[in-house]
Amino acid sequence: MTTRTSLQKTLGIGLTLGVTLLWLLGVTASGLVAQHEMNEVFDSALEETAQRILPLAVTDILNSENGAGNQKAPALKDHDEYLTYLVRDEAGNILLQSHDADPGVFSRTPAEGFSDTLTHRLYGVSAVSNTIYLEVAEPLAHRRESALEAGLALLLPLLVLIPVSLLGVWWIVRLSLRKVVDFQQDIESRGAGDLSPVVEEQLPREFEPIAGAINRLLERLHRALESERSFTANSAHELRTPLATALAKVQRLKTRMPDDYLKNDVAEIEEALRSLSVLSGKLLELAKAEGGGALSQSQQDLVPILAMIARDFEAQAPGRVVLSLPEREVNSFLDPDAFAILVRNLIENALKHGSRSEPVKINLNDNGVLRVCNGGARVPPEQLALLRNRFARAKTDAAGSGLGLAIADAIAKGAGMTLHLRSPATGRQDGFEAELNLACI
Amino acid sequence: MRVLLVEDTVGLGEAVRDQIADDGHAVDWVQTLGFAEASVRTTPYDLILLDLMLPDGHGLGFLRTLRATGKTTPVIILTARDQVSDRIEGLNAGADDYLVKPFDLSELSARVAAVARRYRGNPSPIIQVGELMIDLGDHRISRNGLPVELTAREWALFEGFIQRPGMLLSRSQLEDRLYAFGAEIESNTIEVYVSRLRKKLGRDAIVTVRGMGYRLETHDH
């Protein structure tokens, strides 16, 4: 099984994924830069806070030296305290702390400058000859939350960007490929035998070489088919004319022969020439059937052709042909000449090998299904399977070239149709039936 | 009938010419379209047997020109082109029948007779004129049930009358029918042949219209 991709779908998904990936890379880079800058700002705020609080804390501690001990600075108003501070002496005793400060988050020994614990960022500063230390702590979670919010702010547009990008790319690609789609539909909608050039002027420049290549191929195919047709027609002429001359001369000779013995000899030559004519005709038909001329460039009504051929057979075998035609046209891309050969062979086959006491029924219905049916003995399945082979014959006394059904089958195959051979015929206990759908192409 | 055969293959042309002549028709055989065009300009033919692929052109062009000039002479195409499209093209161009080579000469004779009958407006091969029963297919005549034997030239002349029963035929029209047999035409040739026909078919079968020509009597006496 082959998986065919849609250019529109591939471009739509590919471009959207590309844009999304680039956006994510951009967001990551921006997030990292923003985080770095934010950390600098937060650190600066931490440092500034420590330096501004330290003089106030020292003054406060010195003023209350007698009642020294742990003092909590009361909150003027309820609020979330992101920055907490702790003032300690050189021995580490807490002298003052902010109201939400947790001593556990600070290091045991006060230190100056920036430091980190698992949960907090700290900044320490000292005063009064390193006897009083102040440390300010800020939760790292706060910083992460800020970074996360900034990242989310950058990521959120993707929710809109992805569908908009998909839609935009799909629309632009569709617009760009409109002429290509028209081109594709033009090729799809043309008949199977239509070899006229495709229109390439409207196509985007990138597709022009494809159209050009298709047109060159169509032209070569057209020329090949034409020369094949011409060769078949010329061969027919070159072969039939001397045969016609020989046959006519022999027939004239026969009328002038006084001797019955010689007349019989001439009659045998005449019969041999007639057989040669039939065989050469069949071989030419087979050549045409196996060539590429089974399809025509436009649809044609096949009903009048079937009627004409049936009339010919009715003239040759009066009363043995029963024709049933539809009320309306049956249009098909099957080449009229190929159709005539096909039908002629099917009817000939039915007349030769069918029961002489029953007519050959030729039925073409409104749906374009052609059936040629004859009475006679049932053809065994193993023989039925071989009838399409060249020079194959069912067990019969009738003379035949053994090419008729091979020719009919080759034409049907060449036109993309299926020739069904059945025995017994539909609705009967015996007989033979050939069926094919002319309107399927 | 007077038949124009247009066929460039010598052997086939000879055989067809002999067959049609044996059927009792006068045949002019030409091998090119140029000669065919000249022939139809000067001679009124009853039938044209036309090959298609000729050395100086395609027979269908000749046929179309013939029809375009209003000539309704029946035409049977004899060709090696056996495709149904060729046949349809030939019939559409104005042919009356289409016979694919190789063909049986007996089949050709039958087709010639059928086309001739169609043009006479009588598709049956047997017609009755007065007390005469005429089988156009077999060239047999019986008068009051008794067979009448006609020579080829007598038949050719009589056929001219059958084709236009009751209508006046001029001396020159009748002479044309005999020319094709290579007959020496003298001043009294037509009178001689008409006299022979009267002897065989009945004194009143052919009426003389003094100074104008002859006419086949069609009513019973």
Tally Cβ neighbours within 10 Å of residue A384.
Answer: 15
A136 and A211 both lie in a single domain: no
pTM of the model: 0.62
> pLDDT tier at A75 (50, 70, 90 boundaries)?
low
Are B102 and A305 within 8 A, CB to CB?
Answer: no
Cβ(A421)–Cβ(A363) under 8 Å? no
Q: How long is chain B?
A: 221
CA-angle at B116, arms to B114 and B117, nearest 5°: 65
Answer whether residue A184 is part of any domain.
no
Q: Which residue has the higher pLDDT, A245 or A218?
A: A245
| Three-class secondary structure of residue B4 per DSSP | strand
A280 and A300 both lie in a single domain: no
Give me Rg for the CA atoms of chain A: 49
Q: Is the pLDDT of residue B15 over 90?
A: yes
A148 and A225 both lie in a single domain: no
Tally Cβ neighbours within 10 Å of residue B12.
Answer: 25
Residue of B19, B80, B83 lying closest to A240 (CB–CB): B80
**The domain spanning residue A335 has which CATH number?**
3.30.565.10
A348 and A373 both lie in a single domain: yes
Instruction: Answer with the one of A292, A322, A339 that is the final residue of a domain.
Output: A292
> pLDDT tier at B123 (50, 70, 90 boundaries)?
low
Instruction: Answer with the one of A292, A323, A350 that is the final residue of a domain.
Output: A292
* Chain B residues with CB-CB distance to A245 below 8 A: 9, 11-12, 15
Q: Is the pLDDT of residue A67 over 80?
A: no
Q: Is the pLDDT of residue A437 over 50?
A: yes
Residue of A237, A245, A273 lying closest to B11 (CB–CB): A245
Number of domains in chain A: 3
* Predicted pLDDT at A1: 46
Instruction: Answer with the one of A292, A317, A347 that is the final residue of a domain.
Output: A292
**The domain spanning residue A131 has which CATH number?**
3.30.450
* Predicted pLDDT at B101: 92
Answer whether residue A172 is part of any domain.
no
* Predicted pLDDT at B183: 58
Strands B97-100 and B75-79, sheet pairing:
parallel
- Measured distance CA(A209)–CA(A111) in Å, rounded: 77
* Predicted pLDDT at A364: 93
Dump pLDDT digits (tens) for B155-201: 888 888 887 777 888 888 888 777 766 656 777 888 888 999 999 88
Q: Which residue has the higher pLDDT, A279 or B33?
A: B33
* Chain A residues with CB-CB distance to B82 below 8 A: 236, 240, 281
Rounded mean pLDDT, A199-221 = 84
Are B80 and A237 within 8 A, CB to CB?
Answer: yes
Q: Is the pLDDT of residue A41 over 70?
A: yes
- Measured distance CA(A83)–CA(A38) in Å, rounded: 16
Q: Is any Cβ of chain B less than 8 angstroms from the Cβ of A305?
A: yes
Are B84 and A252 within 8 A, CB to CB?
Answer: no
Q: Best mutation site among B8, B9, B12 for testing chain A: the one with the most A CBs within 10 Å?
A: B12
* Predicted pLDDT at B221: 40
Q: Among A379, A390, A387, which residue's Cα sits nearest to residue A432?
A: A379
Answer whether residue A55 is part of any domain.
yes
* Predicted pLDDT at A351: 92
Q: Is the pLDDT of residue A70 over 70?
A: no
* Predicted pLDDT at A57: 84
A224 and A200 both lie in a single domain: yes
How is the beta sheet containing B206-209 ordered, strand by strand?
A: B168-169, B213-216, B206-209
Q: Which two tokens stand for residue A45?
A: 């705020």
**What's domain B2-119's architecture?**
3-Layer(aba) Sandwich (3.40)
A219 and A209 both lie in a single domain: yes
Q: Is the pLDDT of residue A386 over 60?
A: yes
Rounded mean pLDDT, A200-208 = 79
Answer whether residue A165 is part of any domain.
no
Q: Is the pLDDT of residue A189 over 50?
A: yes
A285 and A384 both lie in a single domain: no
Highest-confidence segment of A15-29, A38-52, A62-76, A99-113: A38-52
- Measured distance CA(A145)–CA(A138) in Å, rounded: 13
Residue of B14, B22, B102 lying closest to A277 (CB–CB): B102
Are B9 and A309 within 8 A, CB to CB?
Answer: no
* Predicted pLDDT at A69: 59
| Mean of pLDDT over chain A | 84
Q: With a cut of 0.90, is the ipTM above it?
A: no
Are B101 and A255 within 8 A, CB to CB?
Answer: no
Are B84 and A340 within 8 A, CB to CB?
Answer: yes
**Residue whose tokens read 């020329």:** A223
- Measured distance CA(A42)–CA(A207) in Å, rounded: 59
A282 and A298 both lie in a single domain: no
Rounded mean pLDDT, A25-49 = 89
Answer whether residue A173 is part of any domain.
no
Q: Is any Cβ of chain B less than 8 angstroms from the Cβ of A249?
A: yes
Rounded mean pLDDT, A370-385 = 90
Q: Is the pLDDT of residue A191 over 70?
A: no
A238 and A132 both lie in a single domain: no
Rounded mean pLDDT, A99-124 = 86
* Predicted pLDDT at A130: 80
DSSP state of B1: -
- Measured distance CA(B66)–CA(B69) in Å, rounded: 5
Q: Is any Cβ of chain B less than 8 angstroms from the Cβ of A244?
A: yes
Calculate helix-pair angle for A260-290, A404-414, nearest 10 degrees: 20
**What's domain B126-216's architecture?**
Orthogonal Bundle (1.10)
Phi, psi of A421 (to 5 degrees): -115, 130
> pLDDT tier at A348 (50, 70, 90 boundaries)?
very high
Dump pLDDT digits (tens) for B33-55: 999 999 999 888 989 999 999 99
A100 and A197 both lie in a single domain: no
Q: Residue ranges of the domains in chain B? A: 2-119, 126-216
- Measured distance CA(A55)–CA(A161) in Å, rounded: 52
Of all residues in chain B, the one with the smallest CA distance to A308 is B84
> pLDDT tier at B219 (50, 70, 90 boundaries)?
low
* Predicted pLDDT at A212: 87
A303 and A279 both lie in a single domain: no
What's the half-sphere exposure (Cβ side, CA atoms, 13 Å) at B132?
Answer: 27
* Chain A residues with CB-CB distance to B83 below 8 A: 233, 337, 340
A262 and A301 both lie in a single domain: no
Q: Is the pLDDT of residue A132 over 90?
A: no
> A26: domain range?
7-155
- Measured distance CA(A85)–CA(A101) in Å, rounded: 6
- Measured distance CA(B64)–CA(B48) in Å, rounded: 13
